[in-house]
Homo-oligomer: A and B are copies of this chain.
Amino acid sequence: MIDPKQPSSQQTSSTMSDEHPLDRGLKLTEVADGLYQGEASPSYWNQVGPFGGMTAAMMLNVILRDPGRTGDPVALTVNYAAPMAMASYRLATRLVRASRTTQHWSVELLQDNVTLATASAVLAIRRKSWGRNEIAPPEALPGADVTASMDRGRGMPWFRQYDLRPIRTLGSTTDTQVHTHAWIRDEPPRPLDFPALAAVCDTMLPWMFRRRKQMIPVSTVSLSVYFHVGSAELASVGDEHVYTRSYGQVCHAGFMDSNAQVWSRQGLLLATTQQMMWIKE
């Protein structure tokens, strides 16, 4: 019997069982220069592929693990073009342009030589500068420790990879704009890094569901994430919950947007994100 509180010798080796599902899903083999192969992760599955956040994590991860990578991500955009099969996939990366402090990357996600998603990322060596939060950190709200976790047994597989603790929704359904607040972290806990943070940016419940009091099929077509901290600051989050505040601006003529901020428990704005979703009706 292994006492879970006692470190065992097995924990130092990387077996299937002790590896975090996110790390397992991000695992890559280099096939050629700038071409990597991985296996679709059943853990992060949604209806016709991984949930959009996992795809974003995959596409950012391949850049960050490149030996030629310099700096931390500042901006990431992922465009979702086609469903993905539960099979192996390839990521083709290209360093488009680099200066001493900045890099521009593009990535394509492929199966059977067909492009399923494209991504672009700007990386930069962060430095001290003038700084200011124009938006206030979340007000004092119930901590993740006293907030009830959502039932993770329901819904799509990817939903079980998060400990999601909705706090409250500000504004009634007749108000102009509804703001939804939640604590979230990877389940099991895992120190937050940039790929995991990119994934978190696609975990918010679309505001339309609340407005229409029903689930309507939606599908992200384009997701942008703006990162506001460097890797040292991000590392300070550890495996704590982060705080998400999400809201919409508009739904019109077949598409809706979704916007969110991701904060650390200490009130650091880690990322902001905006996406466009196709809606079925």
Choose the segment among A7-15, A74-82, A185-193 that binds chain B (4+ C-beta atoms closer than 8 Å): A74-82
4 closest A-B pairs (Cβ-Cβ)? A75-B222, A81-B97, A126-B253, A77-B77
Q: Is A252 an interface residue (CB 8 A)?
A: yes
Q: Is A211 an interface residue (CB 8 A)?
A: yes
Choose the segment among A43-51, A133-141, A157-165, A194-202 that binds chain B (4+ C-beta atoms closer than 8 Å): A133-141
Cα-based distance from A99 to B221 in the complex (angstroms) = 13
The answer to whether A269 and B247 touch (CB under 8 A), given A79-B120, A279-B130, is no
Interface contact A247-B77, CB-CB below 8 Å: no
In-complex Cβ contact of A178 among B77, B134, B255 (8 A): B134
Choose the segment among A19-27, A54-62, A225-233, A236-244 that binds chain B (4+ C-beta atoms closer than 8 Å): A225-233
Q: How far is the CB of A125 from chain B (nearest CB, A)?
A: 8
Interface contact A124-B278, CB-CB below 8 Å: yes
In-complex Cβ contact of A122 among B128, B222, B281 (8 A): B222
Q: Which residues from B are CB-within-8-Å of A97?
A: 81-82, 114-116
Q: Is A203 an interface residue (CB 8 A)?
A: no
**Integer count of this chain's copies in the complex:** 2
Q: How far is the CB of A136 from chain B (nearest CB, A)?
A: 5
The answer to whether A252 and B221 touch (CB under 8 A), given A74-B276, A118-B120, A257-B272, is no
Q: Which residues from B are CB-within-8-Å of A166?
A: none
Q: Is A106 an interface residue (CB 8 A)?
A: yes
Q: A75-B222, A132-B211, A132-B250 are in contact. List 10 more A-B contacts (CB 8 A).
A: A77-B222, A127-B254, A134-B177, A134-B250, A135-B176, A222-B224, A226-B257, A228-B252, A233-B253, A257-B272
Q: How far is the CB of A236 from chain B (nearest CB, A)?
A: 13
Q: Which among A96, A115, A226, A261 has the greatest number of chain B C-beta atoms within 10 A?
A: A226
Cα-based distance from A255 to B226 in the complex (angstroms) = 10
Cα-based distance from A129 to B277 in the complex (angstroms) = 13
Cα-based distance from A253 to B248 in the complex (angstroms) = 28
Q: How far is the CB of A95 from chain B (nearest CB, A)?
A: 10
Within 8 A of B (CB), among A101-132: 102, 104, 106, 108, 114-116, 118, 120, 122, 124, 126-132
The answer to whether A129 and B226 touch (CB under 8 A), given A79-B75, A79-B120, A177-B134, is no
Cα-based distance from A81 to B130 in the complex (angstroms) = 23
For this complex, 28 residue pairs linking A to B, each with C-beta atoms less than 8 Å apart, are A75-B79, A75-B221, A77-B222, A79-B104, A81-B97, A81-B104, A104-B118, A118-B120, A120-B222, A122-B221, A122-B222, A122-B276, A128-B253, A129-B252, A129-B254, A130-B208, A130-B212, A132-B211, A133-B252, A134-B176, A134-B248, A135-B176, A222-B226, A224-B274, A226-B274, A228-B253, A249-B269, A257-B272
